[in-house]
């Protein structure tokens, strides 16, 4: 396999704050040192790591720092990371929207970028005119577009509206049309940034399918940025995790996703009682969560299909009416999809005795596929409206469900297949 893209020590410096006389002073000083004194840019040295949440000393940050990696031809690389980790900057550099501060990117073949679909759509022009416009902006020639026009219109599913100005389109239709054009672009390297976020389920499926065809069937290289882990997992072979402008992991897509979600699960390492990433007035708070098996022994993991009791230790900090308490316990799979919910208002339970310090959730049989589920706990008084929240905390606990037999004693079921629910059932044939 040959290398399609090579990033050599790519860094990108950004200046924060407003453009003002201060900027002018910096520019003059930079110009003076570089052009007159022939020295290195003085502001390159004082750049800081790009951590969005902390206040920095310097006005300059490295949006990307020493990015160094190679992409093989035909590979589909998922780039994941938190907001502001530098994902989009990386793609912008590759698609030549802006230039790196240092380093060099080398690539083989035409690069097509889909940083935002529908780029250059003019609201007054019809869908058909915009297909030409958009196609040309993305680097297609007129005859090329004409040849693919029917295919593009068909793929977008907007045939009825094709001669109507796009300002009359719904936003979803606009995205469909934009993606349809981009999907029919034939670059050797395709750069895609979060395009699947909009559009309905049917279209998302179509879009993912098209991208799979592009990479598998046609052997093109794709760089894909997304927060949708399911899409990354489906599409990508390898993955890169960016954190604060640096590569924190590079390897297979599955491993990268695990690493990335691991970063998120970091929070659960702090004891629940001292965590501060919670909302609500704190009149009553969850301070500890433990699991019990059917023999009432404390366990660290749950097993598929078995009895489970979850104990929530609470701390009451105010004079409350516990009979009004509503408890919600929600489970999310590693891709952030809600899979289970136990809401006490649906189950009608009176928590009058909660002042004793604990309440329990008893699950007779845990009919869930093995996986690591993240638990969200919410306590509220009277209603479930946010203003009545006493305590709400995401990733309060990671519930590890281990593999076990389910349908038949002694026969383990398959590990996680991308869905959660298990239902008892059996096949039989007439005797």
Partner 1 sequence: MSEEKWTTVIKPKNKLLEVNIRELWDYKDLISLFIKRNITTQFKQTILGPLWFVVQPALTVIMYMIVFGGIAGIPTDGVPRPLFYLAGTCMWQYFADCLTKTSNTFVDNAGIFGKVYFPRLAVPLANVISNLLRFGIQLGLFLIVYAIYVLIGNHEAHFTWYALLFPVLVLMMAGLALGFGIIISSMTTKYRDLQVLFSFLVSLWMYATPIVYPLSQTKSMFWNGVQVHTLMCLNPVTPIIETFKYGFLGCGEFVGWRWLIYSFVFMTVLLALGIVVFNRVQKNFMDTV
Residues 138-167 that bind partner 1 (CB under 8 A): 138-142, 165
| Region class of 199: left (phi > 0), else alpha (psi between -120 and 50), else beta | left
Among the residue ranges 132-140, 258-266, 329-337, 397-405, the one whose residues contact partner 1 (CB under 8 A): 132-140
Kindly state whether residue 115 participates in binding partner 1, applying the rule CB under 8 A: yes
Site for partner 1 (CB under 8 A): which residue of 31, 40, 68, 96?
A: 96
Of 126-134, 227-235, 269-277, 347-355, the segment contacting partner 1 by CB under 8 A is 126-134
Q: How far apart are CA 165 and CA 145, in angstroms?
A: 19
Instruction: Please say whether the beta carbons of 322 and 354 come within 8 A.
Output: yes
Contact code string over 22-61 relative to partner 1, x by CB under 8 A: -xx--x----------------------------------
Vertex 15: Cα angle to 9 and 21 (nearest 5): 145
Q: Is 270 in the site for partner 1 (CB under 8 A)?
A: no
Pick the binder of partner 1 from 133, 265, 291, 299 (CB under 8 A).
Answer: 133
Residue 27 or 277 with smaller CB distance to partner 1: 27
Taking the least distance from each CB to partner 1, the nearer of 124 and 277 is: 124
In the structure encoding, which two tokens stand for residue 394, read together?
A: 């995401």
- The residue written with tokens 């399911």 in the block is 230
Task: Work out how close the CB of 190 gets to partner 1 at its nearest, in angstroms, rounded to a whole number.
Answer: 13
Mark the segment that binds partner 1 (CB under 8 A) among 12-20, 310-318, 339-347, 381-389.
12-20
Tell which one of 98, 170, 273, 323 touches partner 1 (CB under 8 A): 98
CB 189 within 8 A of CB 157: no
Q: Which helix (H) or strand (E) holds 111?
A: strand 111-114
Among 22, 120, 172, 364, binds partner 1 (CB under 8 A): 120
Q: Residue 39 to residues 15, 34, 43, 102: CA-CA distances in angstroms?
A: 20, 5, 11, 16
3-state helix, strand, coil in the chain (%, to 5): 30, 35, 40
Bridge partners, residue 224, by sequence: 78, 192
Minimum CB distance to partner 1, residue 211 (Å): 18
Q: Is 19 in the site for partner 1 (CB under 8 A)?
A: yes
Q: How far is the CB of 25 from partner 1 (least distance, A)?
A: 12
Length of the chain, please?
Answer: 431
Could you tell me the smallest distance in angstroms from the CB atom of residue 104 to partner 1?
Answer: 5
Q: Which residues contact 225 (CB under 8 A, 6 or more apart)?
A: 78, 79, 80, 87, 88, 90, 91, 192, 193, 194
Binding site for partner 1 (CB under 8 A): 2-3, 6, 14-15, 19, 23-24, 27, 92-111, 113, 115-116, 119-120, 122, 124-125, 129, 132-133, 136-142, 165
């Amino acid at each position: 396999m040959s290398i399609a893209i090579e990033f050599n020590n790519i860094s990108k410096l950004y200046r924060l704050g407003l453009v003002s006389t201060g900027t002018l002073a910096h520019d003059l000083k930079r110009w003076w040192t570089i052009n007159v004194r022939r020295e290195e840019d003085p502001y390159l040295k004082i750049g800081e790591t790009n951590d969005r949440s902390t206040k920095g000393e310097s006005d300059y940050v490295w949006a990307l720092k020493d990015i160094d990696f190679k992409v093989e031809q035909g590979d589909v690389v998922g780039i994941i990371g938190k907001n502001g980790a530098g994902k989009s900057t990386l793609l912008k550099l590759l698609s030549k929207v802006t230039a790196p501060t240092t380093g060099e990117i080398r690539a083989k073949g035409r690069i097509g970028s889909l940083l935002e679909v529908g780029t250059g759509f003019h609201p007054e022009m019809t869908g058909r005119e915009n297909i030409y416009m958009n196609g040309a902006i993305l680097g297609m020639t007129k005859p090329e577009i004409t040849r693919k026009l029917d295919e593009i219109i068909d793929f977008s599913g907007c045939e009825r509206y094709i001669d109507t100005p796009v300002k009359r389109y719904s936003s979803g239709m606009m995205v469909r049309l934009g993606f349809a054009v981009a999907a029919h672009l034939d670059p050797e390297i395709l750069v895609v940034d979060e395009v699947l976020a909009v559009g309905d389920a049917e279209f998302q499926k179509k879009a993912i399918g098209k991208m799979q065809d592009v990479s598998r069937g046609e052997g093109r290289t794709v760089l894909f940025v997304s927060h949708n882990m399911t899409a990354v997992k489906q599409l990508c072979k390898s993955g890169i995790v960016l954190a604060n402008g640096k590569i924190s992991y590079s390897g297979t897509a599955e491993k990268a996703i695990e690493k990335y979600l691991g970063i998120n699960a970091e929070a659960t390492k702090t004891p629940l009682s001292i965590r501060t990433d919670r909302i609500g007035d704190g009149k009553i708070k969850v301070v500890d969560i433990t699991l019990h098996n059917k023999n009432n022994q404390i366990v660290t993991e749950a097993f598929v299909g078995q009895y489970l009791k979850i104990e929530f230790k609470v701390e009451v900090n105010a004079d409350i009416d516990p009979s009004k308490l509503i408890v919600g316990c929600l489970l999310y799979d590693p891709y952030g999809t809600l899979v289970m919910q136990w809401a006490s208002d649906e189950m009608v339970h009176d928590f009058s005795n909660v002042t004793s310090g604990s309440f329990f959730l008893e699950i007779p049989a845990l009919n869930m596929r093995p996986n690591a589920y993240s638990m969200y706990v919410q306590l509220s008084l009277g209603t479930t409206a946010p203003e009545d929240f006493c305590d709400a905390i995401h990733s309060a606990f990671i519930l590890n469900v281990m593999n076990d037999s389910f349908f038949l004693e002694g026969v383990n079921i398959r590990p996680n297949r991308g869905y959660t629910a298990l239902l008892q059932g059996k096949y039989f044939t007439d005797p």
